Amino acid sequence: MSVHKSDIKKITIQRLREMKNNGEKISMLTAYDYTMARILDEAGVEMLLVGDSAANVMAGYETTLPISLDHMIYYAASVVRASKRAMVIVDLPFGTYQGDPETAIRSAVRVMKETGAHGIKIEGGAEIEESVKRILSAGIPIMGHLGLTPQSINKFGTFSVRAKEEAEANKLISDAKLLEELGCFAIVLEKVPAALAKTVAEQVSVPIIGIGAGGNVDGQVLVVHDMMGMNKDFKPKFLRRYADLQTIMTEAAANYVNDVKAGDFPNEDESY
């Protein structure tokens, strides 16, 4: 039975809040292009994150730092055009919001105006408070991001688990409460101990979305290329692969090459 487009209920901030209050888990995956976003939207994923991880999986950079705001806007507009139900959130890339609230608001406004997205995501806590206030003052929804914040990788020097020590754990809890108080509608927690993530999820009223943060949070997010098995070299503990597309796609391409070279493709049925 097909669902009529008018029957599709879009995911809203209010719906996410209801899901947390009802104990209903929230699913989130990254998306960077129209075709993949359409598939994920039709599969029922509630939130699509146009992540600055596009720098890694789409452009081949080692970190997320090089990607530009123009690139993020291009990817995000493609994802929005495919999304009928999912909420689309866009990462503000490195250098477009840190330190200068005026730059932050200009970046966020550009994303919202030029992509049609439903909100933005930025990394950090108290150190970006003024930028958060400025963006929220324009009515732009913000998803926070604490724990391992990849845009700060040069400060951390490693992609290992964050907030294992008491001082950093306390700051993370404080930052989560601050982001909630300022008005952020949700927070991503990346690569932190499961017990700490559980504490944060219990102490704030906004949804907590985990990646490498255990199961006692309100939802989960993964990079779609990782969970689809398109990159076998990436093997973090938190990743579950739901497909092996690297093998399937490599075999398909190899079979195509063989058929072309053998003169088997195209055959008579595939010719005009």
Type of residue at 264: D
The DSSP code for 28 is E
Residue 173 exposure: Cα atoms within 13 Å on the Cβ side:
15
CA distance 13 to 186: 9
Sign, Cα dihedral of 75, 81, 86, 90: positive
Comparing CA positions, the residue from 118, 171, 117 lying closest to residue 149 is: 171
69-82 vs 34-43: helix crossing angle, rounded to 10: 50
Nearest to 111 by CA among 101, 121, 99, 102: 121
Whether the Cβ atoms of residue 191 and residue 159 lie closer than 8 Å to each other: yes
Distance (Å, rounded) from C-alpha 108 to C-alpha 126? 19
Exposed/middle/buried for residue 7 (C-beta within 10 Å: 0-12, 13-18, 19+): exposed
Q: What is the dihedral of CA 26, 245, 213, 191, to 10 degrees?
A: -130
Residue 211: what are its φ and ψ, rounded to 5°? -140, 105
Specify whether the CB–CB gap between 217 and 188 falls below 8 A. no
Q: Annotated catalytic, 102? A: no
Active-site entry in 18, 166, 190, 268: 190
Q: Which amino acid is at 88?
A: V
Enzyme catalytic residues: 190
